[in-house]
Amino acid sequence: MKKLIAATVIFFIAVYFIIVHSFKDTQINKYPDVAAVKKDTAIQKGRVPAILPHSAYNIEETHDKDTNDTFGRFYYKKQDEEALMKNLRTVPDMNQTYTWGSFLFKVNKDRHEVKYRNKPDSGQ
């Protein structure tokens, strides 16, 4: 009988840990343009960088509520590229990575695409 109780307890503990680690508290948001980002206050919440060009579109952000990690992407029109790049600073030794505020950026000028994430120790 004691073995059955111990096995049952171990089973429920294992199920608990599987459930907790399988279902992270991650949220994904998609915005068609900058106006939608502002309406959702995603910039104020620290989930989208305030440096968004006026022409930004197809804006996506994913954030983990447990770890405060934020990842995202947006596209922009070519006319905003120069102004965007003037605000970004190259991060030494990080292979074409840029920084601004509490975010890191990878810019693909051919696709007019920017991928971003919050800096690892800048939990919002």
* 10-68 pLDDT tens trace: 877 777 666 656 666 888 999 999 999 999 999 999 999 999 999 999 999 999 887 88
pTM of the model: 0.76
| Helical spans, DSSP H, in 58-114 | 81-87
Please report the pLDDT score of residue 19 as a whole number.
63
Report the distance separating Cα 43 and Cα 83, nearest Å: 19
Helices (H) and strands (E) in the chain, counts: 3, 7
